[in-house]
Amino acid sequence: MEYAKGYKTVEESRTEMTKILQYKDINGANRLFGGRLMEWIDETAGIAASRHCGGDVTTAAVDQLLFKRGALLNEIVVLIAKVTYVGRTSMEVRVDTYTEEKSTGLRTMINHAYLIEVCVDENGKPKPVPYGLEVRTESEKAELEGAKKRQEIRKTRKNEGF
Ligand X SMILES: CC(C)(COP(=O)(O)OP(=O)(O)OC[C@H]1O[C@@H](n2cnc3c(N)ncnc32)[C@H](O)[C@@H]1OP(=O)(O)O)[C@@H](O)C(=O)NCCC(=O)NCCS
**Residues in contact with ligand X by the rule CB under 6 A:** 58-61, 87-90, 116, 118, 120, 124, 126, 154
Question: Do 92 and 84 contact (CB within 8 A), yes or no?
Answer: yes
Q: Which is nearer to ligand X, 122 or 138 (CB)?
A: 122
Find the residue with minimal CB distance to ligand X: 87
Q: Which is nearer to ligand X, 50 or 58 (CB)?
A: 58
Distance, CA of 138 to CA of 132 (rounded, Å): 18
Closest distance of CB 126 from ligand X, Å: 4
Q: Which is nearer to ligand X, 85 or 98 (CB)?
A: 85
* Contact partners, residue 96, CB within 8 Å, separation at least 6: 79, 80, 81, 109, 111, 112
Q: Which is nearer to ligand X, 71 or 119 (CB)?
A: 119
CA angle 103, 68, 10 (to 5 degrees): 80
Closest distance of CB 60 from ligand X, Å: 4
Closest distance of CB 112 from ligand X, Å: 17
Closest distance of CB 54 from ligand X, Å: 16
Question: Do 14 and 137 contact (CB within 8 A), yes or no?
Answer: no
Report residue 7: phi and psi, to 5°.
-130, 150
